[in-house]
Each structure stands twice: as structure tokens, then as C-alpha cells.
């Protein structure tokens, strides 16, 4: 079984006239991300691998998760998580090394909501507010075999739901 954790970045700051890619987390986002990391540990969903968008708010979210779960591996930055399309994101997931059973990707809406809907067999609209994490389970031992509708949406958690 492979488990993909899809996390939307935590709440970000809209001020300071920064380019979108440089927007940092705000205070609420800085508090929410570690809470989500601790919840993943409680659920035995500690990632073997974490990949993130290059946007500052996504990187800061990933780093807060890393601190909360004491992750010791390298954080992988995937440009396609910010600049890409659905096909690019799915292709990035398919290249994950099979030694990793639980992988987390940190990025942005609307792509992340669309990705969860695309990969899961769940019909209907998916809602992922800031700092939400969706857990998708795949009945495979090979990331490269993941296709549309091949996953099962296990749950979506948000800071407010905890």
C-alpha cells in the first residue's frame, strides 16, 4: 500500500506587495502547521518523504511539519507544484522512490483540491482550506502505477476539525 498525504499550505500573509511566490505564512499559519504535523504522528501517518512547492508559504508549511515530526530527510522542492499542471503533479508523484510508503506533498489550491478528486474514487467537490491534509490510499507497492481514480480518500483533516 502507498499513502499520499496532500497538504495545502497554511494561512499566508497577503500584505507587503510581495510577488505571490514570496508570500510568507501569517501568525495563524505558523500555529496551524505544527498542529497538523502532531496530528499526523497521532494517526501514525509520519511521512517517509516530503515534497513541496517552491513558494515561500508552502516551504514554510513543510518546514513546520518537519520540525513537528522530527523528519530527518531532505525536503524535496518540486517546481511543478507551483508552476505546473495536473499532469505534471501526477508525473512527479509517479517518480517517488518505492522505498517511501507514506509521501507528503505540500502545495496550493485549486490544484490540490482537483488532485485529490482526480486521484480518488470520491465523487463530488473536494474542499481543502488552508493547512488541510488529505490522506489517499493506493492498493499498490509501486508509485508509478498510480492513475486517476485509483486511490481511496481516507480522510481530510483541518486545523479547525482538531
Into how many domains does the chain fold? 1
What pLDDT sits at residue 123? 66
Give me the CATH number covering residue 129.
3.40.50.1240
* Cβ neighbours of 34 (radius 10 Å): 18
Distance of alpha carbon 133 from alpha carbon 141, whole angstroms: 22
Cα-based angle 106, 110, 114 (whole degrees, multiple of 5)? 85
| Residues present in the chain in total | 162
What pLDDT was estimated at residue 17?
85
Instruction: Let me know the angle formed at the C-alpha of 15 by 10 and 18, rounded to the nearest 5 degrees.
Output: 90
Contacts of 85 (CB under 8 A, 6+ apart): none
Range 102-141 burial, b when 16+ CB lie within 10 A, else e: bbbbbbbbebbbbbbbbbbebeeebebbbbbbbbbebeee
CA 47, distance to chain mean position in Å, is 10
Q: What is the pTM of this model?
A: 0.96
Helix or strand (DSSP H, E) at 104: strand 102-107
Cβ–Cβ under 8 Å, residues 84 and 105: no
One digit per residue, the tens of pLDDT, for the chain of length 162 reads 999 999 999 999 887 788 999 999 999 999 999 999 999 999 999 999 999 999 999 999 999 999 999 999 999 999 999 998 999 999 999 999 999 999 999 999 999 999 999 999 776 789 999 999 999 999 999 999 999 999 999 999 999 998
The pLDDT of residue 124? 72
Q: Are 132 and 7 a contacting pair, CB within 8 Å?
A: yes
What domain range includes position 132? Answer: 2-161
Amino acid at each position: 500500500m502507498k499513502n499520499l498525504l496532500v497538504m495545502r499550505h497554511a494561512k499566508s500573509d497577503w500584505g507587503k506587495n510581495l510577488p505571490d511566490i514570496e508570500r510568507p505564512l501569517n501568525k495563524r499559519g505558523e500555529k496551524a502547521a505544527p498542529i497538523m504535523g502532531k496530528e499526523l504522528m497521532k494517526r501514525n501517518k509520519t511521512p517517509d518523504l516530503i515534497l513541496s512547492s517552491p513558494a515561500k508559504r508552502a516551504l514554510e508549511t513543510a518546514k513546520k511539519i518537519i520540525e513537528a515530526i522530527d523528519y530527518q530527510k531532505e525536503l524535496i522542492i518540486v517546481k511543478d507544484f507551483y508552476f505546473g499542471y495536473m499532469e505534471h503533479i501526477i508525473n512527479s508523484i509517479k517518480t517517488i522512490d518505492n522505498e517511501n510508503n507514506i509521501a507528503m506533498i505540500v502545495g496550493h489550491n485549486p490544484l490540490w483540491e482537483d488532485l485529490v478528486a482526480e486521484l480518488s474514487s470520491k465523487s463530488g467537490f473536494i474542499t481543502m482550506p488552508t493547512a488541510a491534509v488529505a490522506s489517499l490510499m493506493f492498493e499498490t507497492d509501486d508509485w508509478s502505477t498510480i492513475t486517476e481514480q485509483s486511490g481511496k480518500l481516507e480522510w481530510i483533516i483541518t486545523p479547525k476539525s482538531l
